[in-house]
Structure formats: structure tokens, C-alpha cells
Amino acid sequence: MFSALLLGAAILFSTLTHDLAEAKVVVTSDIPCRPFHEIYPSGRELCEKMWDGSFVYETNRSRAYTMWFFDQDNPNDDVTRNLGLSAPSLCHLRYLHKDTPGPEPDTFAECHPWKENSCCTEDTVSSVQKIKQSYGPEWHWDRCGPLTPACERFFVQEACFYECEPNAGLFRKYPDRHFNASDPSHNRWQMSGMPIWSDFCDAWHRACRNDQFCSHDDGNFFSCAATYTEEQAADGGTVVGIVFGCLVIVALIGVLGFLVFRERTGQPVFKPLEQQVS
């Protein structure tokens, strides 16, 4: 009899967790997802809108930075000179960045263009998985499902560029001369208005054309990340539900065990009617 009850409890438990798992799937797909080509009309919108004004689309190659390169020397240093600026001797952005740019060891491979002079350490950019997870789940670029390798490559390049490129520090949204530590709207990590080579943005748009991305706020990745807290709260509810369900089932099994124990020891809790009468 006891095993039959256990089986019943197991069936109840699996039904309950299955329902909860389905509820979770509904929550996750609440992010509005659409293909890149429907969200961004062209490479310009992709570069400018996705990154909330961190970058601007620039067609003049001598005034435009590239997020990736194969040259021995970093071509972005020339761009800085063409803009009348000087290559920074400090890493002005503060996220996972080093204090000053410098060389990284031979094992530095994922963001290899910056090996000789980088604002990132090998440890922070050791793999695609590591890079993706560095900023928290709200910043995962595959929240609408896995991206094709061609498309994901551009997100890795952007992350390498942001973490490793010393010249990116020239475009901090709140540069040191304006930065006010007691103003909660200021930060040391955000960028603004860095000119990016138009061909790079266009290639990114072609590579991701049919991949799915968060279309919230016209594809603003920052706004989409900000919606994560709501989703997180819903997920928290699911976890509480599962834990509560498990506790109820454990309690049920305990009670059943107790009943069986009493019956086996000859002191059943529920006696047959005639026995109770006598």
C-alpha cells in the first residue's frame, strides 16, 4: 500500500513541476523578439540604437574606429590622431578594465588584436562564454535564443573592443573632467558618441539579418537589459512555487510513512469501524 501511495505522490510531484516549468517558459518568451532586419533598418541603427548612443555610424574611414582588425599596429591610434586627439595612456573606462594599457601573455587569444596593448586582462576575456557572462544575465546577447556563429562573432568583437581598446576611453559619457561621484546618474563605464566605421556596422547587420534579438524600445539593448528585473521577479516566484511544492510532498510522504509505521506496529491511527465501536 505504501509504495502505491509513493507512486501517487511521485505522479503528483511530476505534474506540479511540469506545470511550473511551462509557466517559466511563458515568462521567458515575454521579451519581445524579432529578427534583426525587422528591428534595425540598416547597420546605422544597429550601431547607434542598440548601444544607446555609445557609437555613431561614420562613413569617413579616417575618422572612424573599427571594432576589429588584423593589422600588427592598432589602426584606431591613427583615427585618434586624425581626430586631433592623443592616444590615452590610461584606461579611462571602468568596468573590468585595467588601470593602464599594456601587453598581455601569449595565451591571450579571444581578443587577439589587442594583445600588444590592451585595457583588458586575459582573464576577463578568456572565452566567448566568459565574455557573455561578464555583465550578468540581462546582457546575454542570446536572450531570444542562440545566435548563429557569424552573428555572435560581432558581439564578441564589440565586447573585446569595449574592454580592450584604449581609445574607447576617450569617449566616456561622463569623462573625469565632468564626473561627479555623488551624482547617481553618473558612471565610469558608459560611452557616448564614438564614431564607428560604417562598413563594420553594415557587416554586422548582414551577419545577423535573420537572427532573433530583443526588439524592446526599437532594439535598445540597454532598455532591454533593464526589463530583466521584472522577469527575474517572475522567475523568483517560480522558484518559491517549486520549493513550496517539494515541501508539501515531503510532508505528505512523512504523514503516510507515519500511518504505515503505526499500522505495522499494530497501533493503526485509523481502526476498522467495528474495532472502534467495541
Ligand X SMILES: *[C@@H]1O[C@H](CO)[C@@H](O)[C@H](O)[C@H]1NC(C)=O
Cell output for 236: 523568483
Among 19, 30, 183, 230, binds ligand X (CB under 6 A): 183
- Site for ligand X contains 199 (CB under 6 A): no
- Where does this chain touch ligand X (CB under 6 A) — which range of 16-24, 56-64, 137-145, 234-242? 56-64
- Site for ligand X contains 180 (CB under 6 A): yes
CB 192 to ligand X: min, Å: 18
Cα–Cα distance for residue pair 238/241, rounded to 1 Å: 5
Q: CB neighbours of 164 closer than 8 A, spacing ≥ 6?
A: 111, 113, 114, 118, 119, 120, 125
DSSP letter for each residue of 230-266 = HHHHHHHHHHHHHHHHHHHHHHHHHHHHHHHHHHHTT
Q: Which is nearer to ligand X, 58 or 110 (CB)?
A: 58
CB 229 to ligand X: min, Å: 23
Q: CB neighbours of 35 closer than 8 A, spacing ≥ 6?
A: 209, 210, 211, 212, 213
- Site for ligand X contains 60 (CB under 6 A): yes
Size of the site for ligand X (CB under 6 A): 7
Q: Which is nearer to ligand X, 79 or 225 (CB)?
A: 79
CB 90 to ligand X: min, Å: 22
Long-range CB pairs of 185-191, under 8 A, 24+ apart, other chains included:
188/92, 188/93, 188/94, 189/93, 189/94, 189/95, 190/54, 191/51, 191/54, 191/55, 191/93, 191/162
Q: Pattern of binders to ligand X over 77-96, x per CB under 6 A?
A: -----x--------------
CA distances from 24 to 18, 27, 28, 192, 236 (A): 10, 5, 6, 36, 10
Q: Pattern of binders to ligand X over 92-131, x per CB under 6 A?
A: ----------------------------------------
- Where does this chain touch ligand X (CB under 6 A) — which range of 14-22, 27-35, 57-65, 219-227? 57-65
Q: By the 8 A CB rule, do 169 and 100 touch?
A: no
Q: Percent helix, strand, coil in the chain (nearest 5)?
A: 55, 5, 40
- Site for ligand X contains 232 (CB under 6 A): no
Q: Pattern of binders to ligand X over 129-168, x per CB under 6 A?
A: ----------------------------------------
- Site for ligand X contains 62 (CB under 6 A): yes
- Site for ligand X contains 71 (CB under 6 A): no
CB 243 to ligand X: min, Å: 42
CB 64 to ligand X: min, Å: 9
Q: By the 8 A CB rule, do 205 and 49 touch?
A: no
Binding site for ligand X (CB under 6 A): 60, 62-63, 82, 180, 182-183
